[in-house]
Amino acid sequence: MARSESSDGVSIRGLRFRYDRGFAIEVARLDVAAGEQVLFSGASGCGKSTLLHLISGIETPEAGSILIDGTDICALSGTARDTFRGRRVGMVFQTFQLLQGFTALENVLLSLMLGAPTLDQPRVRAQAALERLGMRDLHAPVERLSVGQQQRVAVARAVVTEPSVVLADEPTASLDPANAEAAVALIRSAAQVAGAALIVTSHDPALRSVFTRVVDVSQYGVATAAGHMGAAR
């Protein structure tokens, strides 16, 4: 893969992503060190989710580089990027995106087998990841689990491949304050155990006091000649 001498973690240089409606995100330089935990903050629509999707390789920038552990994901082909994401990037989605009809263990095991098929003892690893997060009913279909249990499965799935970076997009958006605090603590603890850098997006001001580093994504928004700064996600 396209390796660089950059240090581990996430390193962004000269990034530009243009929307169709007169808005762009431009990041001259942004680094997240290995093991660091960062909150991407800002009002709804400032581009937090888009920046997270760019870091994951789901979106492709117009220009610039995004290095994860020294690999420039922007230089990878689509298939190679998908493979790299499956192994090195763990993702926690707001709506969990668990596979209905599959058990908690099967959801985590499938992620491991697809993302890191060369790791040995996949079933043991999947079970251990769930149990570390307090899951005991590993064989229940996920649709029968509580919201809190489903979130634990989603977090276990994100860290089971031993990724370099974990990305959590608005993980507390639909939760009450007490459950939101517990959810963030769960994600932070799991990322720390995995030794992964963690980037969480949220517009919730209460989370600003939880993280030692907060990045205001609105600073990267740029209005273009075609319109105004209102088209981001």
pLDDT in tens, 118-144: 999 999 999 999 999 999 999 999 999
pLDDT of residue 43: 86
Given a cut of 80, is residue 231 above it in pLDDT? no
Q: Which of 215, 214, 154 is nearest to 190 (CA)?
A: 154
* Cβ contact 29:67 at 8 Å: no
Q: Where are the domains of the chain?
A: 35-60+81-216
Average pLDDT, the chain: 90
pLDDT in tens, 163-187: 999 999 999 887 888 788 889 999 9
pLDDT in tens, 73-125: 999 999 999 999 999 999 998 889 999 999 999 999 999 999 999 999 999 99
Fold of 35-60+81-216: Rossmann fold (3.40.50)
**Rg of the chain in Å (alpha carbons):** 18
- Render the burial of 187-225: b for 16+ CB within 10 Å, e for the rest: bbebbeebebbbbbbbbbeebeebbeeebebeebbeeee
Quote the percentage of the chain above a pLDDT of 70.
93
- Please give the Cα distance from 139 to 147 (Å, whole number): 16
pLDDT of residue 189: 96
* Cβ contact 216:33 at 8 Å: no
Q: Judge if pTM exceeds 0.75.
A: yes
